Structure 1
Amino acid sequence: MTSEVNAAPGRDSGEAATGPAGPAGPAGPAGPAELRRRARVLAVLCAMQLMIILDGTVVTVALPTIQADLGFSQAGLAWVMNSYLIAFAGLLLLAGRLGDLLGSKRVFLAGLALFTAASLVCGIATNAETLIAGRFAQGVGGALASAVILGMIVGLYPAPGEQARAMGVYSFTSAGGASVGLVVGGVITQTVGWHWAFLVNVPIGLVALLLAARLITTGRGLGLAQGADLLGAVLVTAGLSLAVYTIVQTAEPHAETGRTLLLAGIALVLLAGFVLRQARAAQPLLALRIFRDRQVSVANVVVVLMFAAGFGFQFMTALYLQRVLGFDSLATGLAFLPGPVTIGLMSLFVAGRLTVRFGSRKVLLAGLTAFFAALVLLGQAPVDGQYWLHVAPVLTLMGAGMGVAIPSAIMLAMSGAEATDAGLASGLNNTAQQAGAAVGTAVLATLAASRTTERLGAGAPEVAALRDGYSLAFLVAAAFVLAAIALTATQLKPKA
């Protein structure tokens, strides 16, 4: 978050705390005109977040069509998603720091403009290389814009009740948007073609640019002289990118163990170099002092696990519907509707009230438990499964869990930081979300592909082999969520 957004998350048992005002002005009671302005700013910020999240998932149901049109390999197809997610995850920390230095409005507008231009590149892509390059550029633009959104929301709504409701809107945008992307992707792919999944961003992005320039009012940043740690950004981006590439390429038919181990070792060295750089740099990209607070550290690990399971769950469920149950792109997109509908109801109308009454930690535990149950149930879905029996109830249960878990986890991750580290906490939380999504998708896709190959080699029918691969991925995702439950129950203790 930026220096001009001074609202600090609190340090209580989980509810958001008060703090000085951010871009909304004074933290005291606001008049009707100011409340309307804050609502409009929140709408613009969430609209951009929705675009970012949509493009992380909107192509999922179009992957078979994209693969046929552009000649992707099965394992390489994951890079249509991962090139976007890795750029996003690797650059969020740098983007957050740039927000501190240049001002959140400038960074937000720059990211929105780049994202819109990159969407045009993806929309006119005629080969795999252009599409991946465009997706990477989208990730860069998305990182710039998204890195400052959380901080601006905290500044807009410093009061606990208002902030909980605003976080519910933001969480619905993030969690619900991911599921809505699957619906939109299916409709677009089936009707006008997958290219329009990207081209539709162009007019929306232009309108959002005009509104953001007019509505968002923030102060000046600290100035570039304070330093942005470009070396640290290079190390963490390269390390994350190589780590995910290493995971993905293990699913290739002729992957060599020695080469895989070498790449994994290099990725670890790069990430270790990033940590050392942060410990010694005068102006670190990620000040390691933030990890002294257990709540910040543990809550962000929980976020990583949640998003690793959540994005992988959506990716695998889309493939299960298409390749096992025989759904087309449109039917697959519509099949996901119970998820975003339930997420919307829970995050917009229930999560805030539950958080104020019971605290973020208890609400997070309840949401994670529901999500865990959904993954275990889907892991048992048969080859001849029925949508209304084996899929729709699971998506509804997942939506209920994620609709309350995500805002609670974000508030816990933000509430442990001091006022001076609010921007750092925002960037770290966004990085945790996107790194979890990228690594989780890569891990689950690789495990599913490997299991399917193994079953085919043993003589299993293709559909049964595919189902076995997806079932394994669902159960591993459930293990991620179980680990998040354990950490929340044992390590996220209420603060006095």
Structure 2
Amino acid sequence: MPKTSGTSLPDSGSADPNRWKALVFIALAQLMVVLDATIVNIALPTAQQDLGISDGNRQWVITAYALAFGGLLLFGGRIADLWGRRRTFIVGLIGFAAASALGGAATGEAMMLGARGLQGAFGALLAPAALSLLAVMFTDAKERAKAFGIYGAIAGGGGAVGLILGGFLTEYLNWRWTFYVNIPFAIVAAVGAYLVIREPESARNRSSLDIPGVVLSTLGLVALVYGFTRAEHSGWTDGLTVGVFVASVVLLAAFVITEAKVKAPLLPLRVLTERNRGGVYLSLGLAVIAMFGLFLFLTFYLQIVRGYSPVKTGFAFMPMIVGMIVGSTQIGTRLMTRVPPRMLMAPGFLAAAAGMLMLTQLDLNSSYAGLIMPAQLLLGLGMGTAFMPAMSLATYGVDPADSGVASAMVNTSQQVGGAIGTALLNTIAASATTSYISDRAAGAADPKLLELQGMVHGFTSAIWWAVGILVISAGIAFALITSGRPDTRPAGGSADGAEDEIRIPVVAH
């Protein structure tokens, strides 16, 4: 048997003979939640027409899900700690299936928006429970690397899978199937979880629920996500947008003060302030800003500029999915027990930045095979390699009783990053497009061609910002994440708390 160094969790999870079967159902549930963030995007124009949703309200089909999911994640994570992750996981799956059935059967705007809000709420129960189950069930270094490699590939590539599936279902069946497709996913995962998942009893948290923390965090996160969503279409200087951001800052500051004082906090600050986990949350959130921007711009480029169908657009994202799977399950998994996490995360983000840099060369006639495909492959390889150790490190070494809320912070950083990415990069692109067209409108022979050229110019201008954001992510990962050194405590580790010492075990051959 190999020897390991560093702090590890109790090995009760590793003794569970069903843990690999459990991983199948956990991964299936995670795929459902992640792809649902993008699968509805492609179906939205058709659904809007069928249900009579106004142009002013159509964004709420996306926003209702984002607000409920982002706002309730910390609450969902702590519920998993208190109530049991297996139970929370199953309830989340059943609720998500019911909400999806409601969305598929929607007869009007109110029913659709209500269904999307419910999907987000049950997703906020489901996602932290899924990640925290992995954290408490896989504690051996090599097994943990494999499990989180699979999970990281799904977490990173699920959005692109949603584009493929959404395009296929919308084009060949009906937009309602973008909701109904969740039901078999959820049922299979729930039955499987009930039969095979056995959560270690030592991982339960028996403390009381921090109600003030729940209220403040939920309202603060909802305000933050809504602020970025509103800024995208109403502008950053809009009075209500500014007011929402101010309210978010006040609420989240009050939340932090409350968590520092209460006996059983919703989010123990040690989970957030330990430098390695803090580095993961920050670098991952920034990287997701770049990723969401790319999904948005490349989808518009392929459909509007190049005239791709929804299905062809979805399949055009396949190189990114393949890259993420290879980066996460092959590169990340093989190297995680051999090198410190930052030596995977920082180069991974830089490789993704290089792929993004290639896309700054887009023009009206860019070759898919010569530019878009290799750029996506490099981007996917980099993100897959970085996501895998990030997902593992974000929960590694946390007190098992806090693994649910630590998992929720991973999802929260991604959700907030997605909201920022969509709003910020879209604003940059729109501004650059407007400036480009206005500067050339007087002498334009073909206004339609100028409009397309302006659109592409806006996309590439925003992609330059995404490149810079990924480089910053790499710098943060390299500077803050110091875990993984054999026989060395990470800087910032607690002197008296085993849960704060989060060195990844390094296998000695």
Query: What is the aligned partner in structure 1 of residue 122 from structure 2?
Result: 141
CA-CA distance at 1:219 after TM superposition: 5.9
Unaligned runs of 5+ in 1: 1-9
Asked whether 1:475 is paired with 2:464, we answer yes
Q: Which amino acid aligns with 1:210?
A: V
Query: What is the aligned partner in structure 2 of residue 342 from structure 1?
Result: 323
Once the two structures are superposed, the pairs formed by residues 322-341 of structure 1 within 5 Å of their partners are 322-341=303-322
1:125 counterpart SS class: coil
Asked whether 1:485 is paired with 2:487, we answer no
CA-CA distance at 1:403 after TM superposition: 1.4
CA-CA distance at 1:255 after TM superposition: 8.0
Question: Distance in 2 between the 1:11 and 1:122 partners?
Answer: 50
Asked whether 1:399 is paired with 2:380, we answer yes
Asked whether 1:152 is paired with 2:128, we answer no
User: Structure 1 residues 251, 306: CA separation in 2 closer, same or farther (over 3 Å shift)?
Assistant: closer
CA-CA distance at 1:165 after TM superposition: 0.6
Asked whether 1:18 is paired with 2:8, we answer yes
Question: Which residue among 101, 125, 145 is the counterpart of 2:82?
Answer: 101
User: Structure 1 residues 201, 422: CA separation in 2 closer, same or farther (over 3 Å shift)?
Assistant: closer
Partners of 1:75 and 1:248 within 8 A in 2? no
Question: Distance in 2 between the 1:254 and 1:354 partners?
Answer: 44
Question: Distance in 2 between the 1:125 and 1:375 partners?
Answer: 38
Once the two structures are superposed, the pairs formed by residues 411-490 of structure 1 within 5 Å of their partners are 411-415=392-396, 417-418=398-399, 421-458=402-439, 459=441, 461-490=450-479
Question: Distance in 2 between the 1:68 and 1:328 partners?
Answer: 18
CA-CA distance at 1:218 after TM superposition: 2.9
Once the two structures are superposed, the pairs formed by residues 66-215 of structure 1 within 5 Å of their partners are 66-70=47-51, 77-215=58-196
1:350 counterpart SS class: helix
CA-CA distance at 1:64 after TM superposition: 3.9
Question: Distance in 2 between the 1:259 and 1:95 partners?
Answer: 28
Q: Structure 1 length as normaliser, TM-score?
A: 0.88
Once the two structures are superposed, the pairs formed by residues 35-74 of structure 1 within 5 Å of their partners are 35=17, 37-70=18-51
Question: Distance in 1 between the 2:419 and 2:358 partners?
Answer: 24
Question: Distance in 1 between the 2:235 and 2:379 partners?
Answer: 36
Question: Distance in 2 between the 1:445 and 1:227 partners?
Answer: 42
Moved more, 314-323 or 453-462: 453-462
Q: Structure 2 length as normaliser, TM-score?
A: 0.85
Query: What is the aligned partner in structure 2 of residue 5 from structure 1?
Result: none
Question: Distance in 1 between the 2:89 and 2:116 partners?
Answer: 18
Question: Distance in 1 between the 2:76 and 2:362 partners?
Answer: 41
CA-to-aligned-CA distance 1:140-162 (integer Å, 9 cap, x gap): 11111111222221222211011
CA-CA distance at 1:74 after TM superposition: 6.7
Partners of 2:67 and 2:222 within 8 A in 1? yes
Question: Distance in 2 between the 1:443 and 1:113 partners?
Answer: 35
CA-to-aligned-CA distance 1:281-323 (integer Å, 9 cap, x gap): 2221111133342111112111111222222321222122112
Question: Distance in 2 between the 1:56 and 1:221 partners?
Answer: 34
Fraction of identical pairs, as percent:
34
Q: Which amino acid aligns with 2:262?
A: A
Q: Which amino acid aligns with 2:472?
A: A
Question: Distance in 2 between the 1:38 and 1:222 partners?
Answer: 15
Q: Which amino acid aligns with 2:481?
A: L
Partners of 1:103 and 1:221 within 8 A in 2? no
Question: Distance in 2 between the 1:64 and 1:452 partners?
Answer: 23
User: Structure 1 residues 213, 187: CA separation in 2 closer, same or farther (over 3 Å shift)?
Assistant: same
Partners of 1:175 and 1:403 within 8 A in 2? yes
Q: Which amino acid aligns with 1:264?
A: F
Question: Distance in 2 between the 1:437 and 1:410 partners?
Answer: 17
User: Structure 1 residues 228, 454: CA separation in 2 closer, same or farther (over 3 Å shift)?
Assistant: farther
Asked whether 1:217 is paired with 2:198, we answer yes
Question: Distance in 1 between the 2:298 and 2:128 partners?
Answer: 29
Partners of 1:76 and 1:248 within 8 A in 2? no
CA-to-aligned-CA distance 1:91-139 (integer Å, 9 cap, x gap): 1211121112111121111111111111112212244443332222111
1:58 counterpart SS class: helix
Question: Distance in 1 between the 2:331 and 2:356 partners?
Answer: 22
Moved more, 407-416 or 446-455: 446-455
Moved more, 235-244 or 140-149: 235-244
Question: Distance in 2 between the 1:152 and 1:248 partners?
Answer: 31
CA-to-aligned-CA distance 1:432-475 (integer Å, 9 cap, x gap): 22222233223223333344344455537221222223223322
User: Structure 1 residues 75, 484: CA separation in 2 closer, same or farther (over 3 Å shift)?
Assistant: farther
Unaligned runs of 5+ in 2: 442-446, 489-509
Once the two structures are superposed, the pairs formed by residues 176-325 of structure 1 within 5 Å of their partners are 176-218=157-199, 226-252=207-233, 257-325=238-306
Question: Distance in 1 between the 2:428 and 2:107 partners?
Answer: 30
Q: Which amino acid aligns with 2:314?
A: G
CA-to-aligned-CA distance 1:187-230 (integer Å, 9 cap, x gap): 11111122211111112322322222222223669999832223
RMSD of the alignment, in Å?
Answer: 2.7
User: Structure 1 residues 468, 130: CA separation in 2 closer, same or farther (over 3 Å shift)?
Assistant: farther
Q: Which amino acid aligns with 1:283?
A: A
User: Structure 1 residues 468, 73: CA separation in 2 closer, same or farther (over 3 Å shift)?
Assistant: farther
1:226 counterpart SS class: coil
Q: Which amino acid aligns with 1:485?
A: A
Partners of 1:239 and 1:271 within 8 A in 2? yes
Question: Distance in 2 between the 1:132 and 1:324 partners?
Answer: 31
CA-to-aligned-CA distance 1:208-255 (integer Å, 9 cap, x gap): 222222222236699998322233223222222223333333343688
CA-CA distance at 1:336 after TM superposition: 0.8
User: Structure 1 residues 468, 245: CA separation in 2 closer, same or farther (over 3 Å shift)?
Assistant: farther
CA-CA distance at 1:335 after TM superposition: 0.6
Q: Which amino acid aligns with 2:8?
A: T
